[in-house]
Chain A
Amino acid sequence: MTPPAASVGGGLPPGARFAGGAVAGPPGWHAGDAPADRDLAQCVACGLCLPHCPTYRLTGLEVASPRGRIAAMRQVATGRRPLDRVFEQAMDLCLGCRACETACPSQVPFGRLLEGARAQAEPGRAAPARLARWIGLEGVLGHPPLLTGAATLASLARPVLPPRLRRLVPAGRLRRRPLAAVTEPSGPRRGTVAVLRGCIQDLWYRDVNRATVTVLARAGWRVVVPAGQVCCGALHAHYGHLDAARRLARRNHPVLAAADHVVANAAGCGAHLRSYGELIGADDLAARVRDLSVFLDEHGGPPLRHRIERRVAVHDACHLLHAQRVRDAPRRVLGAIPGVELVPLEEPGRCCGAAGLYNLLQPRMSAALGAARAESVDRSRAAIVAVGNPGCAMQIGAQLAARRSAVRVAHPAELLAAASRP
């Protein structure tokens, strides 16, 4: 070999530097909750999360990807960019589905980062947007009577709403008859289970709550629906109202902590209750919370006496699959029903676009994702799609209706209640 031509290892050309070291100034965050530097440092920019992110898949934009969102947070954290409208939009377009968390080998806690970033974006919003969010989250959601009022109004107004909004309001009448405070088990008692009623869930899907209580009682549990419980605060946390989320969590903590177990039948609420440890230090409660499917899978379900001869597809709610890392429990529990044939959906784990308030705030992206999800449900040739989260149920139901699909949306609790009738 001829001798080397130039000096070896001459360094980087002008304009290039090694990443990670540059701090241009003090962090651009306001006081209060913000993405933690430690969490931000966890991302090595490998990009393995990109294909799992629904908003990146649809746009191809780095700014709409998990890696890009984290990099945007880093730019603010290192004082290179201010907290501006572009930053706010980048965070708003995120579904909060946390598919990136499941995909990330470095275990970046993206959900936590996003909550911090959203909390930061909040004060900079235009006044009307801030007011609307405040009324919605802190006014209505936190106060059961106001929420009932709003839901009643929405129900009454449904026929005259513009189609986009109308699809989001379920067609059924609101149920008046409240849930029983205590339901004794059919056989010998195994212990006490507290059921989180949920706010949206209890207004529009009280039948699901009722089915949940029934199924648990038939499985041998004394079921209590503690009075005094309020909205779990998940939406507040996801939309950057962390202080409000903490207030709600502190109210729920003593109310729910009395029971042996706490069951949530809405994936979003369950995931959030399980984060009460991180939020307010309520580890005792957080550790005892289970999604209904997980609880039945761990402890055994009710005796199943009736056949359901149907093809059933399970749509994984993001906050069950990604936030709680639960995939198999609903399939095992539903698969145990005699006659049920479980069928897979294409693109398992893909978000339906409901994502809390996302379908209101980002209608275009949400509709695109919802339509794609409904299409894959249709293609699976299932008769029933089982969905364990009210937001997803509304979204998929609406999108299926728009396609004039015959597939029925059901909560696993409803199927289990039907199969366990005495």
Chain B
Amino acid sequence: MAADPLTLGLYARDASIIEGGCALVVLPSSADEVQACVQVAAREGLAIVPRGSGTGLAGGAVPLGDALVIVTSRMTRVLDVRPEDRLAWVEPGVLNQDLADAVRPHGFTFAPDPSSQQASTVGGNVATNAGGPHCLLHGVTSGHVLALDLVLADGARVRLGSEGPLAPGYDLRGVVVGSEGTLGIVTAVCVRLTPLAPVVSTCLLAFPDPLAAARCVAACIAQGLVAAAMECMDQASVRAVEQYVHAGYPEDAGAVLLVELEGLAAGVAHAVAELGTIAGAHGATSMRVAADEEERGQLWKGRKHALGAVALYAPHYYLHDCVVPRTRLPELLADVYRIAAEHRLLVVNMFHAGDGNLHPLFVFDRGEEGVLERVLTASQEILERCVAAGGVVSGEHGIGLEKRDFLPLLFSAADLGAQACVRQAFDPDGRMNPHKVLPAGARCGDFAMARGDGDLAAAVRSLPAGTWI
């Protein structure tokens, strides 16, 4: 347990640019200890903020005011690996990479591979329904969580989902995955294991500009080329990355595409050839296939460190995360560059092209007068463009504090009210990670209100924000 001001200050933020503050930090080392902490919080009426490694980019783990932060960094045991059942039970603080390393000797991996996989926890991945480059083929975290143990706000413990393929009843496991700590604290996760591919081929393609790369991606998908991962980086990201890893990315290319193909040897060879043809037709200027595991590792290291490497340009960043249908990618990218230019901002793009998941990254120095306001305005314009193009405001980083007020772009009052009702069912007092995910105005009552009585609606609206009715 930590309560001195310096230590508390260190838990005030995650990897986003939002900062809060907390009253107390605890580091339980077992589910029993988590439960005991939660019971104390229930008795004292304290808000609870679960935290893994604090690599979240939406402020989900940022505490506000008098919160109790429960950190899982000491719950790092891999409890059980059962290759024959293709599953493993782990504590929530196990790092994604450590889990992958632990099951590799059995011929398996944990498929979700966020770029933060070396540092982020499985619990955090579950809570944000994390994605990653290889989720193009294997799907995001939700598809790899069979069951989980949860401690609810009142201290009750439940197991949701089941080890078997089909759990009876409502899929509450599915509700909790991606709930960003607002429904309870995950104390154990049963993950699905994915067999390692027999052959993996990593290709690096260079394009004159990111739009050409995006068009190539859309064409690959349209022609049925099944890639495990398709990642795009623009020139600014490539240059930053090369400073750090020297992976041999072409710094003169306007954009590069990193494509991974996996499967049986013959299938992969065929796919590499097909990729070459499609890329050639879409203006690719070069294509390189990684010769060995080391070269492959370097290429991926480059991609996975791209975010941090842009600190080369300026000390602060604001990373966006939004998704559009793949065919709209080129258009959206053009919008992103235009919006950035209009607001005199440096934007760097590196993204999960195969999923249509854009990550526009503004790089700036907060010391500069008015820059934050310009970044925030530009961000909002980008999100509005995404939604207008049929997309959504978050692909994988979650909503947290950062995006909650953008949800009304997507949902009506009734939709948000219904979501608030789900939340209330798990946590009637609203103490689990309050202020996160749902916008300030969203109330369970809005659901009833939207269905009928206008006077009730007016009455509800007159209540102070955040009131639960």
Contact = CB atoms under 8 A, between A and B. Distances in A.
B297 interface: no
B413 interface: yes
B366 A46 contact: no
Interface string A83-106: 010110010000000000000111
Contacts of A108: 311
A105 B317 CA distance: 14
Given A15-B21, A47-B54, A6 B116 contact: no
A69 to B, nearest CB: 9
A50 B311 contact: no
A72 B309 contact: no
Interface stretch (B7-15, B255-263, B323-331, B339-347): B7-15
A17 to B, nearest CB: 6
Interface stretch (A59-67, A188-196, A331-339): A59-67
Contact of A19 (B13, B243, B441): B13
B369 to A, nearest CB: 11
A19 B9 CA distance: 12
Interface stretch (A37-45, A204-212, A214-222, A392-400): A37-45
B6 A107 contact: no
A75 interface: yes
A107 B17 contact: no
B284 interface: no
Contact of B311 (A7, A13, A44): A44
A13 B435 contact: yes
Of A9, A51, A63, A107, most B-chain CB atoms within 10 Å:
A9
A2 B439 CA distance: 17
Nearest to B120: A47
B64 A8 contact: no
A161 to B, nearest CB: 35
Given A16-B19, A51-B119, A71 B316 contact: no
B267 interface: no
Given A16-B59, A106-B309, A5 B442 contact: yes
B19 A72 contact: no
A163 interface: no
Contact of B93 (A14, A60, A62, A81): A60
Given A3-B412, A50-B119, A60-B27, A44 B317 contact: yes
B363 to A, nearest CB: 10
Contacts of B11: 62
B4 interface: yes
B315 interface: yes
Given A20-B17, A21-B366, A51-B97, A5 B412 contact: yes
A206 B65 CA distance: 59
A105 B311 contact: yes
Chain B interface residue count: which class?
35 or more
B54 A62 contact: yes
Nearest to A49: B119
B15 A7 contact: no
Nearest to A44: B311
A46 B116 contact: yes
B116 A107 contact: no
A1 interface: yes
Nearest to B56: A47
Of A20, A48, A104, most B-chain CB atoms within 10 Å:
A48
Interface stretch (B69-77, B192-200, B226-234, B422-430): B69-77
A95 B440 CA distance: 45
A42 B315 contact: yes
Interface string B441-469: 11000100000000000000000000000
Contacts of A9: 376, 380, 405-406
Given A8-B408, A51-B95, A62-B54, A86 B76 contact: no
A59 to B, nearest CB: 8
Contact of B401 (A3, A12, A20, A56): A12
A84 B7 CA distance: 12
B307 A15 contact: no
Contact of A6 (B14, B64, B312, B413): B413
Contact of A84 (B6, B119, B365): B6
B9 A18 contact: no
A50 B55 CA distance: 10
Of A6, A7, A22, A43, most B-chain CB atoms within 10 Å:
A6
B4 to A, nearest CB: 5
A348 to B, nearest CB: 13
B409 interface: yes
Given A5-B442, A48-B118, A80 B311 contact: no
B372 interface: yes
A145 interface: no
Q: Is the interface of A mostly helix, strand, loop or mixed?
A: loop
A212 to B, nearest CB: 31
A107 B413 contact: no
Contact of A107 (B19, B76, B311): B311
Contacts of B406: 8-9
Contacts of B309: 105-106
Chain A interface residue count: which class?
35 or more
A68 interface: yes
Interface in A106-138: 106-108
Contacts of B414: 2
A10 interface: yes
B55 A47 contact: yes
A106 B363 CA distance: 13
B248 interface: no
A76 to B, nearest CB: 9
B308 A106 contact: yes
A178 interface: no
A32 interface: no
A15 B20 contact: yes
Nearest to B75: A60
Contacts of A8: 380, 384, 405-406, 408-409
A162 interface: no
A228 interface: no
B6 A86 contact: yes
Given A16-B19, A16-B59, A81-B6, A4 B54 contact: no
Contacts of A21: 366, 372
A172 interface: no
A419 B415 CA distance: 76
B6 A60 contact: no
A422 interface: no
Contacts of B65: 14-15
B440 A6 contact: yes
Interface in B370-409: 372, 376, 380, 384, 401, 405-406, 408-409
B408 A75 contact: no
A41 B13 contact: no
B405 A80 contact: no
A56 B74 CA distance: 10
A60 B409 contact: no
B152 to A, nearest CB: 23
A174 B440 CA distance: 72
Interface string B335-373: 000000000000000000000000000000110000010
A39 B174 CA distance: 43
Contacts of A63: 2, 6-7, 10
A56 B120 CA distance: 14
Given A5-B408, A72-B9, 9 more contacts: A10-B405, A12-B18, A48-B119, A50-B53, A61-B7, A71-B10, A86-B6, A90-B6, A106-B312
30 contacts: A2-B413, A4-B412, A6-B408, A6-B440, A6-B442, A8-B409, A9-B380, A13-B440, A15-B64, A16-B18, A16-B62, A16-B435, A17-B19, A19-B13, A19-B18, A20-B17, A20-B315, A21-B372, A43-B311, A45-B15, A48-B116, A48-B308, A50-B53, A51-B119, A63-B10, A68-B10, A71-B9, A105-B308, A106-B311, A107-B244
4 shortest A-B CB distances, which residue pairs? A105-B308, A2-B412, A60-B73, A106-B311
